[in-house]
Amino acid sequence: LNDSLFLVQYTEPYGISLFIPSSQKFISAEKFIPKELIEKNIFSVYAANNELWISCYADNSLYHLQLSANCSFKIIDRYSDIGNITAFCQQSGKPQLFCASTNGFLYEASHEKIKKIFNLRTLFPSGKIVIKNLLSAGDSSLWILSDAGVYAVDLYRGKTEKINLFNETGLSSLSGLQQFLIDKYHQLWIASLNGLYKINLYRLPVFHVKTGNLAEDAIYSLCKDEKGILWIATARGLNAFNAAHQLLHNYTAASYPYPLLLNDIIYSMLPVRNGLLISSVGINFIDFANEKYGYVVPESEKPEGLHSYVIWKIVASRNSGHYWLATLNGLEEMIFTREEMPRGVFRMPVIFHHHLQDLNKNGRTCANVWDVYEEEENNLWIATSCGLLLYHPQQQTYEQFTYDPADTASLSAKVARCICADSKGNLWIGTEGGGINRLLKKEKKFKRYMRRHGLAGDVVWGILEDANGYLWINTSLGVSRFDPQKEEFKNYGYAEGFHGNISGRGICYKDQNGYLYMGGNNGIDIFNPLLMKDHPVLPDVYITGIYLFNREIKVGEVINGDTLLTCQPSATKAIRLNHHNNVLGIAFSALHYLSPQKNRYAYILEGYDKAWTYTDASVRIANYMNLPPGNYRFKVKACNADGQWNQKAAELMVVVLPPFWNTWWFRILFLCSCVGLIAVFVRYRVHAVERQNRALEFLVTQRTEEISRQKEQLVRQADNLQEINILLKENQEKLLKQSEELQRTNRELSLANATKDTLFSIIAHDLKNPFHVILSTSQTLFSRFDNLNDLKKKEYASAINKAAGDIYLLLHNLLEWSRSQLNKIECNPEPIEMFSLIEEIFEVMQIHAGSKKIRLNNNLSKGTWIYADRHMLSTVFRNLISNAIKFNNIGGSVTLHAIPLGEEYEIIVSDTGIGIQEEKIKKLFNLETYFSSSGTSGEQGTGLGLIICKEFIEKNGGNIRVESSPGMGSNFIVRIRNASGKSHPPVPADVAITTAPENTSQASGEKTAEDVPYSPGHQGKIVLLAEDNSIIRQNLKEYLSSYFTILEAENGMEAFTIALQAVPDLIVSDVMMPELDGIGLVEKIKSDERTSHIPVILLTASDSETQRIKGLETGADDYILKPFNVDVLRIKMFNLIRIREELRQKYSRGLFSHPGEQKLKLSPDEQFLQHLQACIEKNISNQDFKVEDLCKEMAMSYIQFYRKVESLTGQSPAEMIRIIRLNKAAETLLQNGGNVSEAAYENGFKDPSYFAKLFKKHFGMSPTDYAKNKNSIPG
């Protein structure tokens, strides 16, 4: 009623009383219930929400009473003629009251009205209705407890279901039912005189038929017939069970001899009209009620009959009377005509059609057919031992689907055991070891679902679909429910009422009411899949234990000085651990007793774990090792067997205390101690620093003065560095310019390298002509020398000389042409009289032309002036005339004539030769397509002469072309500028003008050999010749030995060694020599004090300006280009010796100059003489100082010293010492007032009289007169 009032009902004669807990007293009914109700004999009472519902026996009425303020009840409603109410119940939180009456109806009562909601007679068609209890299931369902059993009523749908209860023997036990209730886990508890029953409202009651009730443990098949009898086939016959699952009968081959029952081993059964089809070693049709027993067995003499003794399954076809037999030997179709069958035993009137015959050949295992499914199109899906077949009976064709380990879209196992078609048209295949497969019909591929996806086991015996679209799968490891939409599995075992794993052949069957039968060797589980619901009650989780070092801690126990638990772990909110107790374990448990072994847990230690840790019911403890000091929060939550998580977690604060050295107070104390120590140390250091400061102040004063001096020095160095930086900047700019110049030079060198081969070919070609002249002329001269007169000999010698000059000119011009390829050609355009030039060429070519009797005709007019480079133009016409002779016939002619064209001339070279083909004319002037042809007399050539002609003509501003026909001769037409009567065109600024070689014109300003008088003094001069070519060296020696004394050296090092020993008056050296070249020799000569005065003339075959400048910068006195005129060399040598004589006189005067006279810059020779004078003056008072001592001071040998001094001054070293002493003595006389003896002794003279004699001879007066007439001393 309320918190302090409880209603207690007693049996007669005590009636009812009200119990008040606060006073522990009972109040009789007369004091709180109207008297009229007591008089009407109360039958039953229900109290709830301060209200009473009382059913009175006398008037069959139901009274509704409400509690008033004075703790008494008053009647507010009355419902008449509803019979006696035997049971009440009320939904939580709702005012409606359900009550069951003895009149057979279920009522729903509320304020002011009551209505019938269910007729209980439908549950009890016969017998008395005694309802003992009512319970609300929380929705529209009511549970009814009666003597007849327990019923579930769905008030919304109007459906009822009786809950069958079984004892351990499997038989129903319905007697003595008294009360029942529903706990918070939605488990129904039923109290009876036979014991206590528990039913999970969210797990259907699973009825189990144990194998002990069967004739054999191994169950092969089961089915329900039209009468509701459950038939179970085993290896020992056939068993029949009634609706209450009570065994009715066992049929065996012993009790029903062959052929009534062919064999005890029954593989499959199929209910048919008025009977049952059974497969064993054949086919049986059995109608036990009418005692009809048909059979058919394999007969070898009847090939059209049944073929197999083992028939695994009988499947009804979509065609009436047709049946598919899955046999050990393949698929067979049986047509059962169903004619009028007699009583007793008879042969079945059947016709067989055999299919897939090729599968039966050679004993192939594919012939073993396990299951068959027929589509609406009459196509068959067949599960076999080697995969899945799609069979088309009309066409007698099939498709095979097998297991492919490399293809995940293939069948998942080799053996397909069962086939299930769901309500959505999907086909599901059960396999042995590969789980289930969904067939993707369009792609003809499979999607696999295996144990790793959640399936209970990979060996699948059968698949069934319930009314909700779920698939129920019987596996070797239990039963699974699969949701095809979500692709989720739920597995069922002992906890849900199922009886363990399935061994042998698993059985699946679905009856007409939707009940599923799953069986195996452990028996059969029968359940309604629609009542299998997920449990909504969430589990409560509690912390059940605390462990330290793997030992459970008891309440109040002291561990390492800590009392961890003061109350039970479930009531503990926090624990504190010292740093030693850091190996912690926390145990937990969930209070949910519906399949508790399937509860799952998740825990986390916040502050330590990064994620939740998940575990199952087998591991209900969290262990943590070496927890660092800190504050942590342990949380654990749980979920029930259906995966429903309770997000409300049990929590425990865990505080791990740090050791004292990690506490805040210890850190502060440590910090203060450190600060104190630092302060003491700082004070000590301050005193030490003060002492050091006083000591350093003195040092600083000293160093300051030194730094000031260094500062001044650094300022000067800074100024110097600034100047150096400026110089470096200038040098950097120069280097950048040089880098750019090098890059440009590299590009030009690349072009030069490209023309190298061409240049060599040209040289080889054009050297042949002059060499031919030299060879032919010299050969004629050699063979006929005695028969020739002097005039003829002179003509031949002149021709040889002329050809040699042409060779030189040709080489020079060819080198210039090679430089032109790099745009460095040196061109010297000048007016040229063409008639004379052609005559000179004719003179050279006359011998060649005469050998072929060819006439050379110069039809040019005298006074035909051309403006061009003479040597280039000579090369052009020499090549053209040579080619005209070369390709002319014997007795032919070569003619030159000119056509004036205003500012230009066309000079035509015509011949009467063999001519040139048209295709070859295009190749004449192309370097890449040049070719060589032999002349009419077998003359050889490279074919590059015309290319030179084109290059040189274009350099001079002209052009060249050819007119020719084969056999008609050729005309080479050169168009060039006209210089006659016209002003000469200006020469480009970037084209250098070359001077003629020294053997063709004389150097300006120099005299010839005849003009230079021979000086007899030259004969004594020593000249050193340094030349590695012995012929050139010998020729020079023979020529110059008439004028000089000649020394020879083969290389630079040998020449330097001789120069040190002999100290020659002049050195003539070649530039290119082994070991040490001419440039290196000049450097060593000019840098050595012993030889720096010797003049050097360099001879070179290179006309490079760079090399010439380098030689002159090194100190060479002159530079002569090979080939040279030896007379010119002799004149240059005379001139250098004459200049050296003039310098000697100059040095001689400068050596004896008055004191105080100095030059700003001295030459090496002047420095030598100055050093020499300083050495003598340093030893001037030493009367024993001799020439040998002076040689040691100067680090020279006597000969070297003697020749160098004589070469520079014209005096011997002894004379120099005497003269310097006399000069110093003259100075002494002027300083000491004319004391002759003192002046003599101080300046190294032993005898004053001898000194006076020498003094007078040198100065022309006596020392005394010199001192008196000091103002008249000559300067």
Residue 10 has what pLDDT? 46
Contacts for 711 with CB less than 8 Å, ≥ 6 apart: none
Q: Which whole number is the average pLDDT over 1011-1037?
A: 72
**Stretch among 211-220, 326-335, 651-660 having the lowest mean pLDDT:** 211-220
Contact yes or no for 370/313 (Cβ under 8 A): yes
Q: Is the pLDDT of residue 432 over 90?
A: yes
Confidence label for 588 from pLDDT (cuts 50, 70 and 90): very high
Q: What is the DSSP letter of 1044?
A: S
What DSSP string runs through 983-1035? PPPPPPTTSPPPPPPTTTSPPTT---TTTSPPPGGGGG-EEEEE-S-HHHHHH
Q: Is the pLDDT of residue 1273 over 60?
A: no
With helix as H, strand as E and coil as C, how does 727-771 read?
HHHHHHHHHHHHHHHHHHHHHHHHHHHHCHHHHHHHHHHHCHHHH
Q: What is the DSSP letter of 341?
A: P
Contacts for 202 with CB less than 8 Å, ≥ 6 apart: 186, 532, 533, 534, 535, 536, 594, 642
Q: Is the pLDDT of residue 14 over 70?
A: no
pLDDT, greater one: 208 or 130: 130
Confidence label for 595 from pLDDT (cuts 50, 70 and 90): confident
**Stretch among 29-33, 47-51, 275-279, 435-439 having the lowest mean pLDDT:** 29-33
Residue 982 has what pLDDT? 45
Residue 36 has what pLDDT? 80
pLDDT, greater one: 30 or 34: 34
pLDDT, greater one: 393 or 684: 684
Q: Is the pLDDT of residue 437 over 90?
A: yes
pLDDT, greater one: 51 or 463: 463
H-helix or E-strand spanning residue 1172 = helix 1164-1178
Q: Is the pLDDT of residue 1157 over 50?
A: no
Q: Which whole number is the average pLDDT over 757-761?
A: 57
**Stretch among 39-53, 483-497, 1036-1050, 1259-1273 having the lowest mean pLDDT:** 1259-1273
Q: Is the pLDDT of residue 475 over 50?
A: yes
Percentage of the chain with pLDDT > 90? Answer: 19
**Stretch among 192-206, 334-348, 619-633, 1208-1222 having the lowest mean pLDDT:** 192-206
Contact yes or no for 384/368 (Cβ under 8 A): yes
Pick the most confident of 710-719, 841-850, 1125-1134, 1265-1274: 710-719
Confidence label for 211 from pLDDT (cuts 50, 70 and 90): low
Task: Spell out the domains of the chain, with CATH numbers in brackets.
Answer: 6-207 (2.130.10.10), 540-662 (2.60.40.10), 664-754 (no CATH), 760-977 (3.30.565.10), 1016-1146 (3.40.50.2300), 1152-1272 (1.10.10.60)
Residue 855 has what pLDDT? 93
Q: Which whole number is the average pLDDT over 127-131?
A: 74
With vertex at residue 1257, the alpha carbon angle to CA 1255 and CA 1263, rounded to the nearest 5 degrees, is: 30
**How many angstroms separate the CA atoms of 1192 and 1178, rounded?**
14
Residue 1156 has what pLDDT? 43
> Alpha helix (H) ranges present in 156-203?
none
Six token digits for residue 52:
């009473």
Contact yes or no for 491/479 (Cβ under 8 A): yes
**Stretch among 58-62, 681-685, 1178-1182 having the lowest mean pLDDT:** 1178-1182
Question: Could you read off the pLDDT of 887-909 as tens digits, one per residue?
Answer: 898 999 999 999 999 889 999 99
Rg (CA), the chain: 70
Q: Which whole number is the average pLDDT over 411-426?
A: 93
H-helix or E-strand spanning residue 416 = strand 416-421
pLDDT, greater one: 126 or 189: 189
Q: What is the DSSP letter of 975?
A: E
Question: Could you read off the pLDDT of 712-754 as tens digits, one per residue?
Answer: 888 888 888 888 888 888 888 888 888 888 888 887 777 666 5
- List Cβ<8 Å contacts ≥24 apart for 690-699: none
With vertex at residue 950, the alpha carbon angle to CA 944 and CA 954, rounded to the nearest 5 degrees, is: 150
Confidence label for 993 from pLDDT (cuts 50, 70 and 90): very low
Residue 447 has what pLDDT? 95
Q: Is the pLDDT of residue 824 over 60?
A: no
Question: Could you read off the pLDDT of 214-264 as tens digits, one per residue?
Answer: 655 567 888 988 888 888 888 778 888 876 566 778 888 887 777 778 888
Six token digits for residue 14:
């005590």
H-helix or E-strand spanning residue 162 = strand 159-163
Contact yes or no for 461/505 (Cβ under 8 A): yes
Q: Is the pLDDT of residue 986 over 60?
A: no
Closest residue by Cα to residue 76 from 37, 18, 127, 123: 37
Question: Could you read off the pLDDT of 367-399 as tens digits, one per residue?
Answer: 789 999 999 888 899 999 989 999 888 888 888
Question: Could you read off the pLDDT of 503-531 as tens digits, one per residue?
Answer: 556 788 998 888 898 877 777 888 888 87
Contact yes or no for 723/731 (Cβ under 8 A): no
Confidence label for 1011 from pLDDT (cuts 50, 70 and 90): very low
- 613-616 and 600-606 beta bridge pairing: antiparallel
Q: Which whole number is the average pLDDT over 94-100?
A: 84
Q: What Å distances lie between residue 701 and 694, 705, 707, 709, CA to CA?
A: 11, 7, 10, 13
Share the mean pLDDT of the chain: 79
Q: Is the pLDDT of residue 952 over 80?
A: yes
Residue 3 has what pLDDT? 44
Q: Is the pLDDT of residue 166 over 70?
A: no
3-state class (DSSP) for residue 144: strand
Q: Is the pLDDT of residue 938 over 70?
A: no
414-426 residues labelled b (16+ CB within 10 A) or e (exposed): bbbbbbbbbeeee
Question: Could you read off the pLDDT of 843-857 as tens digits, one per residue?
Answer: 878 877 887 889 999
Confidence label for 1025 from pLDDT (cuts 50, 70 and 90): very high
Residue 413 has what pLDDT? 94
**Stretch among 151-160, 167-176, 781-790 having the lowest mean pLDDT:** 167-176
Q: What Å distances lie between residue 621 and 545, 557, 605, 632, CA to CA?
A: 9, 20, 12, 17
Residue 1048 has what pLDDT? 93
Q: What is the model's pTM?
A: 0.44
Contacts for 1150 with CB less than 8 Å, ≥ 6 apart: 1166, 1169
Residue 7 has what pLDDT? 52
Confidence label for 1014 from pLDDT (cuts 50, 70 and 90): very low
Q: What Å distances lie between residue 876 and 690, 945, 982, 1101, CA to CA?
A: 100, 8, 23, 25
| Residue 56 CB-density burial (10 A; 0-12 exposed, 13-18 middle, 19+ buried) | buried
Percentage of the chain with pLDDT > 70? Answer: 79
Q: Is the pLDDT of residue 1153 over 60?
A: no
Confidence label for 1134 from pLDDT (cuts 50, 70 and 90): confident
**How many angstroms separate the CA atoms of 21 and 1120, rounded?**
149
Backbone angles phi, psi at 817, to 5 degrees: -65, -40
